[in-house]
Homo-oligomer: A and B are copies of this chain.
């Protein structure tokens, strides 16, 4: 595990083209891709994404030479948001900060379907994203552990997998999903 060789923060910005029309298309593609990946997982049809973006398939391929480039970019963008959120929670009460972040994690990821795939992908960028996310969220768990609020026999990766798994499942409604999630988190909490 080495530190990422480039800041996640800049992936989206650095690839965005300069010309006005090109930049507009780039944004439309990212938005369309986020939507399509959310619906169909990372195997969503690229032609469909181009269609949704109102752009020719050629334009998609010029901006993102492979499916992976596109997926990585969307994903990195979301991870970046999560990292910021973690920083903003630094001054809250430990257990509440942790659960608040996990809530964002549950909702914010590219797509429920794709989270699981990305969490285990080996590519450099995905690895870098995981590093950033662990670096940002890990301390939230450690803080809760030091405060005696979270059990010590699990690590942050365990926790993310648990939350990702539960949120990836279909529920009757949000109420049921939240109930199940909070029950599972009760298992993480040190019994009072």
Contact = CB atoms under 8 A, between A and B. Distances in A.
Interface of A: 116, 119-120, 151, 153-154, 157-158, 161-162, 164-172, 176, 179-180, 183-189, 191
Contacts of A167: 165
A136 to B, nearest CB: 21
B162 A184 contact: yes
Contacts of A165: 165-169, 180
Contacts of A166: 161-162, 165-166, 184
A166 B162 CA distance: 6
A79 to B, nearest CB: 18
Contacts of A171: 161
Contact of A183 (B116, B164, B188): B188
